[in-house]
Amino acid sequence: RLVNGSSFCSGRVEVFHNGEWGTVCDDNWSLEDAKVVCREVGCGQELSAPSGAAFGQGSGPIWLDEVTCAGTEAALSLCWARSWGSHNCNHGEDAGVECTVCFPPCALFSFGYNAVASNSQKYSGDPMALQLVDGPHRCAGRVEVLHQEEWGTVCDDGWDLQDAEVVCWQLGCGAAVAAPGFAHFGRGRDPIWLDEVNCTGTESALSECRAKPKGVHKCHHGEDAGAVCSGSCCSSADELLGGYQYCRSSRTGFPYAEHVGIHPPAHIQHLLSPSLGLAPQDPTDVRLVNGSNRCSGRVEVLHNQRWGSVCDDNWDLDDAEVVCQQLGCGMAVAAPPRAQFGMGHEPIWLDDVNCTGTEATLSECRARPWGESNCNHQEDASVVCQAPYSNAWARNIYVFDLHMSFIIPGLAQLRLVNGSSRCSGRVEVLRNQQWGTVCDNGWDLNDAEVVCQQMVCGVAVSAPGSAHFGPGSNHIWLGEVECTGAEVTLSECRSRMEEPINCHHGEDAGVVC
């Protein structure tokens, strides 16, 4: 990895060995060495190979010294060097690398409707320019921006949901749910870079919003702004080889497509299009009536060719969320009871509805049998959702930001077993050519977050233990796993690997992403 640079393609070189990140000494460090690093981290051409801790001094071990690459190697570990940990250096000699963020040309892939995905000469955005820290997952936390190679916070003066919406959008985290101020996620310790941020909510990056000049403010860190986002909009991790899957977003006219497959197999994770309106699915077996628009009103469902209402017994925001998602209306804002949008006159079809909020349709939720209730129409349930999509289809799709991720065979030695999809189940890791389980001692949402990210499955929803997905039958390879949630793979987390691990298969850890 490259650390402390202005982008993900520049910084101090660090390598991972024996479960720990460490630096590389600059003895004999050259452009040939930098070329290998740039290639390995997925960047463009090498620009320079700075020495003398140009990107700051590391604090871990110095793992490599006297590295000598020809420039053609696929990985730094294939270059000649002293043995791991053997050196005559200090951290004042840490090696660095600067690469271009222009990627080499790639093939053109046609995926229908005369659309062609090709490589851009210049990467359209800096993914390291914005981050959310100290939150429960990567889509919630204190807002920090990168300026002059240093992370800093944003003051909450004028900070609102429209500003948070832009942050969530830029990070690929769905819709903004909240915009807390007053250092809700703890105080930062770095500069305060932005104050009086004023976004309309339609910008594609926070840098496009009006604000005071960087570093000019009248705040302290007790006013650090935060953001809470809904997370990636697609709940499943569909793998398509040619096709489209449009997901729901809160932005009118801004559909959000995830996992659009091309050949050879790859995942286009985020495809953001400002020119395509998304029409709601029609016909559907649920509707909202008597509201101010099609995304608010009394809930009615179609059964036996007849519309009827839903009783408000146990009706809550999780139930409303399913209705809003089914109608393409964004997130649920409220779930009013007591016939707030007037009483229906048709049958009461559903009662005691109990959704988890993750179902695709209301008919998938638990409820009494159709037509069985102890209610009257004064108890008709209602829903208020975010604003609806535009119903206009446009002919052209313009991609203004494209992120591609690839699963490299042999790298992700991890799987989820016995779940309802490939993104939920009992966690198993591959070691010595044998699959084994993970003990649930200390297992929490941070650990699950790393698993979900490694599996390209979005955000972690829960981290069940006690063999929730059934007990395994082979080895228990890991115990006392302790991730921060920022690791790229589970192998980077602290854990107990020595056998015997004080566990049994009734304590196997699971994950739901």
Q: Which of 78, 99, 120 represents a domain boundary (last residue)?
A: 99
Domain end: 189, 213, 229, which one? 229
Q: How confident is the model at residue 231 (pLDDT cuts 50, 70, 90)?
A: low
Give mean pLDDT, residues 177-181: 86
Tell me if 117 is assigned to some domain. Answer: no
Name the E strands within 49-129. 62-64, 96-99, 109-110, 116-117
User: Is residue 371 in a domain?
Assistant: yes
H or E element: which one contains 320?
A: helix 317-327
**Helix (H) or strand (E) segment spanning residue 333:** strand 332-334
Average pLDDT over residues 60-65: 94
Is the pLDDT reported for residue 496 higher than 80? Answer: no
Half-sphere exposure of 262 (CA within 13 A, CB side): 18
Q: pLDDT at position 294, please?
A: 80
Same domain, 85 and 169: no
Mean pLDDT of 149-157: 89
Per-residue pLDDT, 175? 75
Question: In this structure, is residue 278 part of a structural domain?
Answer: no
Domain assignment present for residue 274? The answer is no
Residue whose C-alpha is closest to residue 419's, from 463, 362, 366: 463
**Do residues 94 and 134 both lie within one domain?**
no
Residues 370 and 437 in one domain: no
Q: What is the mean pLDDT of residues 263-279?
A: 36
The maximal CA–CA distance of the chain, rounded, in angstroms, is 85
What value does the mean pLDDT take over residues 272-289? 52
- Examine the pLDDT at 201 and tell me if it is beyond 70: yes
Q: Examine residue 376 and state whether it is found in any structural domain, yes or no.
A: yes
Q: How far apart are CA 467 and CA 214, in angstroms?
A: 51
pLDDT of residue 431: 77
Q: What's 40's domain CATH number?
A: 3.10.250.10
Would you mind telling me the total number of residues written for the chain in this entry? 513
Q: Say whether both 296 and 379 belong to one domain.
A: yes
Q: How high is the pLDDT of residue 35?
A: 92
Q: Above 50 in pLDDT, residue 110?
A: no
The boundaries of the domain holding residue 467 are 414-512
pLDDT for 498? 60
Residue 482 domain-assigned?
yes
How many structural domains are present in the chain?
Answer: 4
Q: Which one has a higher pLDDT value, 231 or 492?
A: 492
Domain end, chosen from 99, 117, 146, is at 99
Does residue 59 form part of some domain?
Answer: yes
Q: Is residue 399 part of a domain?
A: no
Quick one: pLDDT at residue 499?
Answer: 60
Residue 172: C-alpha distances to residues 156, 252, 257, 270, 505 (Å): 22, 16, 11, 7, 37
